[in-house]
Amino acid sequence: MGFRIKPAAVSAFLGLTACVSVSPMTQELWSQDIDLALQTSPGRLRELADGGDERAMIAYAIVVRYGLNGVAADPVEAARYEAMATKPAGYHTNFIWMPKTKDSPGYLMPITTATYSYSPVQAASVAACAAILAPSDDPPGLADRLARGVCGGEANYRRLKGQWHRTGTYNRNDGRNL
């Protein structure tokens, strides 16, 4: 009796190995979307977001989620803009060679993968940074999160925190509105 690898097992393995570690430098680069949210008027952000700019969609989602710059907090609207920003831009197929076993010859297995203009990993990283910026006090475990690179490290976190709390808010409930 030969050993045969199931396609579902290969897909599960590839899904697990696709998990990535994001460097602090990359997270600092991605936190520019928070800068965009804090420094651009909500009207202009919405105009850019409605025009298809993924970075503006994420920035506008932050503004709407936390009620920044005089905009009423609306988590449903924020989730809608996040979903629009992270929708797949297309798909491509990769082929993996599955070696032969005792009973069957080797073969090419196609795996279809989504491509993104703005990936869900990027959006999650920006959301994690925004979540620790929102409360006026530093959250518990902040040093550990910053050591792992959230917000691009402590210096970038302090810079963003200062900008965040100079921004006018509406119905923010100290960042706990979600």
**Beta 107-115 vs 90-98: how paired, if at all?**
antiparallel
Q: What is the rounded distance in angstroms from the CA atom of residue 34 to the CA atom of residue 59?
A: 6
Q: What's the pLDDT tens digit per position in 131-144?
A: 988 888 888 888 88
Is the distance from CB of 108 to CB of 89 less than 8 angstroms? Answer: no
Q: What's the pLDDT tens digit per position in 4-39?
A: 555 444 444 444 334 446 677 787 788 889 999 999
Q: What is the mean pLDDT of residues 96-102?
A: 88
Instruction: Considering only CA atoms, give the Rg of the chain.
Output: 21
User: What is the residue whose two structure tokens read 């518990």?
Assistant: 140
The model's pTM: 0.73
Looking at every residue in the chain, the average pLDDT score rounds to: 81
Structure tokens at 43: 């009207």
Q: What's the pLDDT tens digit per position in 45-91?
A: 999 999 999 999 999 999 999 999 889 999 999 999 999 999 999 99
pLDDT at 6: 52
| Of 29-33, 95-99, 123-127, minimum mean pLDDT range | 29-33
Q: What is the rounded distance in angstroms from the CA atom of residue 119 to the CA atom of residue 127?
A: 12
Which letter does DSSP use for residue 169 in this model?
B
More confident residue, 3 or 129: 129
- Evaluate if residue 93 carries a pLDDT over 70: yes
